Chains A and B, each alone.
Chain A
Amino acid sequence: MKPQALWQPGVALLVLVVAAIFPLVITTGLWTQIGVETMIFVGAAAAWNIFSGFSGYISLGHAVFYGTGAYTVAILAQHWHLSGDAVFWLMPLGAVTAAVVAIPFGLVALQARRHTFVVVTIAIFFIFQLMASNFSFTGGSSGIIAPVLNWDAATFNNPFYYIALIISAVTIGLAWLIRGSRFGLQLRAIRDDEDRARGLGVKTFRVKLSALMISAFITGLLGGLFYYFIGQAVPQFIFDPLFDLSVALMAFFGGLGTVAGPVLGALIIEPAQQYLTVQITNDYLSLILLGALFLAVILLVPRGVIPTLSEMISQRRSRQAGRPMAAVVPPGAPAVPQPAAGRGKEAGR
């Protein structure tokens, strides 16, 4: 458990610095584009993990939030005749819409057991994909084209990159805060034994829905950004089952429920996927590779890279220290703990 804490702040800072200077150092259009998409996925995977990783409820419908954010920005930009920089200000609106959508989403989906929950999220996803294709205000199956953005072609990708980077960094910080907080503890308890947690007084539905809304907000924010980046909102690309699968894979790969896991997963998997898609023009291969990669992760590293690594490290350390497994040693009769005065209130907070 503990080895993580030792190297995390240093590594995190290093990664942040590298990420910050990345587009200034590597300026080829292809790589900065991959950079933008990767940064978006870092944020999306981290956001997904805040809900699914911590609570254990695997959602394969987060594309709903991504798409809602995207379409909200698209529709409002069109409706209010916005263009240029102004469109970016619509992103938070997209995020809020996604968070609001999360409410009926959660009301319906969270009724189900963990098993059927996944299926319900898939069903809701298809409903949204269908609606986007069939309603006129979403532009039907041809979608909505983004307003023109007259930026210098050479550095076009950079602002998108930095916005994504900031969103992702904040999300990761939030994930870290949540993990150590009371809210996070309740979420993780739900993951381990929901009924027991409820029996001990945890407001399970409220906790799950809150996590879902936070997750949806961030995902919607990123969806809006993505829409403006690629310049169009088309149902199959915005409501894409591969989005859900990728985001889940990244979190699983890195380590479900850890803070750094999704980041690692996204940083490794997304560039690899993008690069392969460009190299191998046949993009049906990317389907096969994605599926195969997912299977490999599930079968070989089911707990994810980071937990497996830290387990290996702590095992090696305890072997070096020669520490045996501690046994229970009842030392005579200790005093019965009395309920401490003021225990009910946390001192100093």
Chain B
Amino acid sequence: MGRQIYAAIADGILEGGVYALMAVGLTLIFGVLDIINIAQGILVVTGAYLSYVLSVHLHIDLFLGLLVTVPAMFILGLGIYWAFIRPLRGRERTSMSLLACYAVAIIIEGVLYWIFGANEDTLHASYVTNSFRVFGFYLSDIYVYGFIMAVGLVIALYLLLYRTRFGRSVRATMQDQTAARLIGIQVNRVAGLTFAIGVGVTAAGGMVFGATSGGFTPNSGYDLISRLLAIVILGGLGSIGGALVASVFMITLESLVDIWSPNWAIVVFYVALVVVLTVRPTGMFGRQPVRAQ
């Protein structure tokens, strides 16, 4: 039993790192655009399918394939922003954009069903089935590689945010959109690019998800977005550090609960979501809501 627990924790941390990548994308989008991209779940699945196509039909290695899928998803993100988010105006902008994202998610789900059908697919590679042997138990190769990649990408994101001029614009926009506009930042461009980045990283997460999920279908988007939403809200909408911590924590928790009951494991996310919102509505590291003007 003890060994099972350690294995679950190890798996949880590694997988949590990958989820962190997708969660960071989601929280970044909220921080800059003030919208919750409900489509993130199905976009991860899309990333998985893209990797699947490259792998099965073109025999390209999964990690190498990311060189194609990440830019592809980036462009998709740009398209979604430009066509469906940017035109939204008016008082109800935040609710409308959430609904728009939901609608986009439904459309993508339909398209995926159309193209790929409802059968389960998985991504295969040698490292998916091989594993390292560490301290007496097994860590799947793919988990380790995926974790390393996730860490690398998060560091790259961090550098982008804190070492480049673009990153500075993003952070400024996150803090105060009006002020940012006043000092000459092209808020729309920043918003679009941030959205695209948030979507682009899902390609990477999608690939690992596809390899480790044990079978995914277009319907898998719902479970994914439930997890991501819980993680992002728990960590605090807009807080990148929060998303990182919450990802590892929640996925590890799920991994542990999974030992006891696989069917109910997903419930920890819903419960966590509900509990956090009742006890501390802004999450662990979130921003305070504005009451008075």
Binding site for B on A (CB under 8 A): 56, 58, 60, 108, 111-116, 118-120, 122-124, 126-127, 130, 134, 195, 241-242, 245, 248, 252, 282, 284-292, 294-295, 298-299, 302
Contacts and interface: CB of A to CB of B under 8 A. Distances in A.
B241 to A, nearest CB: 19
Contact of B96 (A123, A289, A302): A302
A287 B263 contact: no
A282 B118 CA distance: 12
7 contacts: A58-B95, A115-B98, A285-B114, A290-B106, A295-B104, A299-B100, A302-B96
A345 B48 CA distance: 66
How many of chain B's residues touch chain A, expressed as a range?
A: 35 or more
A118 B36 CA distance: 10
B145 interface: no
Given A115-B98, A116-B281, A123-B273, 8 more contacts: A113-B281, A118-B98, A122-B226, A123-B230, A123-B274, A245-B103, A284-B114, A287-B110
Given A245-B102, A298-B99, A284 B277 contact: no
Q: Which secondary structure dominates chain B's binding surface?
A: helix
Given A111-B278, A115-B98, A123 B229 contact: yes
B274 A114 contact: no
A116 B88 contact: no
Nearest to B93: A302
B277 A111 contact: yes
A134 B114 contact: no
Q: Is the interface of A mostly helix, strand, loop or mixed?
A: helix
Interface of B: 36, 38, 84, 87-88, 90, 92, 94-96, 98-100, 102-107, 109-111, 113-114, 222, 226, 229-230, 233, 237, 263-264, 266-267, 269-271, 273-274, 277-278, 281, 289, 291-292
B274 A108 contact: yes
A130 B109 CA distance: 20
B95 A118 contact: yes
Contacts of B95: 56, 58, 114-115, 118
Nearest to A287: B110
Contacts of A290: 103, 106
B84 A291 contact: no
Nearest to B99: A298
Contacts of A111: 277-278, 281
B110 A134 contact: no
B291 to A, nearest CB: 6
Contacts of A126: 222, 226, 270
A285 B36 contact: no
